[in-house]
Amino acid sequence: MAIDVYINFNGNCREAVTYYAEVFETDPPQFMTFGENPPNPEFTLPEAAKDLIMHTRLSIEGSTVMFSDVFPGMAFTEGNNISLSLVSKDLESIKSVFHKLKEGGKVGMELQETFWSKCYGSLRDKFGIEWQFNYES
């Protein structure tokens, strides 16, 4: 199990991550945009979101650092745009930690299957820390 840092940007994720890759001399990043998601008939993706970065990551000095643009209309506060991401191959551990941390907190997304993971969810704990949970199969 690992806990990784997840940093959000307000539309300039591609520029920032490209810069960090140069600074830390990492492999070039691979970007996944919101527009590359499988279409959802229940939700029309806003044009403004299509080219924004949904996910990318860099390996910096042995640590995985993940990045994303915030979705249009979501709150963004510079300086408070970092979350911790628990990534594990132990599904029961993910469920246990999620249910413990959600007590007194606020769930952003209940644990559920997504197109990238059999189990993903997010929450803000009672201390205001943002958490993401991702099952790695």
SS3 (DSSP) at 44: coil
Residues in CB range of 93: below 8 A, 6 or more apart = 1
For residue 11, give the nearest of 30, 34, 36, 28 by alpha carbon: 34
pTM for the predicted model, two decimal places: 0.73
User: What is the number of H-type helices and E-type strands within the chain?
Assistant: 2, 8
pLDDT value for 78: 81
pLDDT value for 53: 97
Sequence-ordered strand ranges (E) for the chain: 2-9, 32-33, 53-60, 63-69, 82-88, 106-112, 120-124, 130-135
pLDDT in tens for each of the 137 residues of the chain? 778 899 999 999 999 999 999 988 999 999 999 999 888 888 888 999 999 999 999 998 788 999 999 998 888 888 778 888 888 899 999 999 999 999 999 999 999 999 999 999 999 988 788 899 999 98
